[in-house]
């Protein structure tokens, strides 16, 4: 009788990581850089995108919007003539509080990958679970609004640890808040020492140029694939 | 041969509902009213409690704090000489983004039920999953900060539908925001018509008296069990 030796596969990735790799391979083939943008509800992700995606020095951008329900943010962004694809986690995915690699995979056929250089994924507003699921992105960015308080890095450490850039938004409100920026920096360094941070106000435009430049720079890091 | 007819049990509750009922029975036996307080991160739940739990017209209050990590909020509240119990969802419960009935059940032996009339459960900051899990509470309250924008009822409808009271916090910042209260009311009525709402500023104390009176009233709805 023919005997087959059982092969033990070690270090098996979980299903999400496997799918994130498949997404990554598709993005690589199309030479698209992907940024996963995360924050608590109402921290200003969409307004930050409205302020920037209209003019990125020739970098062609698309947005993948993640929401439990509705397409409010997608509607705002498509008004800027940027291709926007909407994922609703409610009807198809059980009302999930985050995007995962499978949801992004499901959206893949709807993404205009050949027409863009940069895809920004606006995740569901939540400081917990989005940080646990890689979706095949190149970089993760989080937005922390000063109205949320300085203690958030200590309360949601995984989120603050998972990202390569922390955007501190709504700084125009600082004169009206009891918010200590040094204390926030201190807490942030406690969970993610030295992570780059950027002070901005999506409302007034203060500091938004730096965020725009960061997006352009990240998109250009990837050399275009020659045809 | 002895034959047993198979009984079909219909309408089986899921595990969470079964445990929520068990919690409810324990709270009833101790005549403790339970309020489940929910919001996005940084909406001001803890500050609202700091403003009220120190003086509730003789109603004896305890707090059950839900956080992914740490005990920052519990430490703030215990400074008011209120009994505070901390649940961390991270080490024991896999970093969950919400409290469920089983977590509250696990905390039950640590709760001083005989010494309190009212238990406020401060849920994990999140506008999605906390609304999906009843924990055995009498009432659910959510806090929506004006800094989060007027669109939140449309984006997180389950949360706004699940609660009996919506506290609109940080109204002291209204002069510095482009926030339209009428538009928020309109969106809120679209998902939960007529739900009571209360405008407050936990920071300045504006309107906090109403929230305090509501807590007292809810606790007194339950007639004390005679010994």
Record: contact B155-A72, CB cut-off 8 A: yes
Q: How would you class B181 by CB atoms within 10 Å of its CB: exposed for 0-12, middle for 13-18, buried for 19 or more? A: middle
Give the other-Cβ count within 10 Å of B34's Cβ.
25
pLDDT of B91-102, one tens digit each? 777 789 999 999
Mean pLDDT by 10 residues, chain B (227 residues): 63 82 97 98 97 95 95 93 94 86 96 97 97 96 98 96 97 97 98 98 97 96 57
Quote the CA–CA distance of B171 and B40 in Å, as a whole number: 16
pLDDT at B11: 56
Q: How far is CA B199 from CA B21, B61, B210, B213, in A?
A: 32, 23, 9, 14
- Interface residue B149 vs chain A (CB under 8 A): yes
Residues in chain B closer than 8 A to A157 (CB atoms): 68-69
Would you call A147 and B145 a contact, using CB atoms and an 8 Å cutoff? yes
Instruction: Write out the two tokens for A110.
Output: 């709807």
Residue with tokens 């482009």: B178
Q: Where are the alpha helices (DSSP H) in A33-100?
A: 45-52, 72-78, 89-93
Low-confidence ranges of chain A (pLDDT < 70): 1-4, 7-13, 223-227
Q: Which residues contact B152 (CB under 8 A, 6 or more apart)?
A: A41, A42, B40, B127, B144, B160, B184, B187
Instruction: State the Cα–Cα distance between residues A46 and A76, nearest whole angstrom.
Output: 8
Q: Are A135 and A166 in contact (CB under 8 A)?
A: no
pLDDT at B9: 60
Residue B212, chain A, CB below 8 Å: the answer is no
Beta strands in B93-188 (DSSP E): 118-122, 139-145, 165-169
- Whether B205 has its CB under 8 Å from any CB of chain A: the answer is no
Pairwise CA distance, residues B38 & B191, whole Å? 17
Predicted complex ipTM? 0.89
pLDDT at residue B8, as a whole number? 61
CA–CA dist B112, B119 (Å, integer): 10
Chain A residues closer than 8 Å to B77 by CB: none
User: How near does any CA of chain A get to the CA of B166, in Å?
Assistant: 16
Residue A68 with chain B: CB contacts under 8 Å: 128, 155-158
């Amino acid at each position: 009788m023919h005997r087959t030796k059982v092969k033990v596969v070690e270090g098996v990735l979980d299903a999400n990581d496997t799918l994130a790799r498949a997404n990554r391979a598709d993005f690589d083939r199309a030479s698209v850089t992907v940024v996963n943008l995360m924050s608590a509800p109402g921290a200003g992700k969409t307004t930050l995108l409205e302020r920037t995606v209209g003019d990125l020095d020739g970098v062609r951008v698309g947005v993948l919007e993640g929401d439990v329900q509705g397409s409010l943010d997608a509607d705002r962004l498509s008004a800027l003539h940027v291709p926007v694809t909407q994922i609703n986690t409610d009807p198809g995915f059980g009302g999930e509080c985050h995007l995962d690699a499978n949801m992004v995979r499901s959206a893949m056929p709807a993404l205009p990958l050949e027409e863009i250089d940069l895809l920004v994924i606006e995740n569901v507003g939540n400081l917990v679970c989005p940080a646990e699921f890689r979706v095949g992105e190149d970089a993760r960015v989080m937005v922390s609004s000063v109205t949320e308080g300085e203690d958030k890095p200590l309360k949601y450490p995984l989120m603050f640890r998972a990202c390569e850039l922390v955007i501190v938004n709504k700084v125009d409100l600082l004169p009206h808040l009891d918010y200590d920026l040094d204390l926030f920096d201190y807490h942030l360094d406690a969970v993610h020492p030295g992570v780059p941070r950027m002070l901005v106000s999506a409302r007034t435009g203060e500091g938004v140029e730096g965020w725009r430049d960061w997006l352009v720079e990240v998109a250009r890091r990837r050399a275009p694939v020659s045809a």
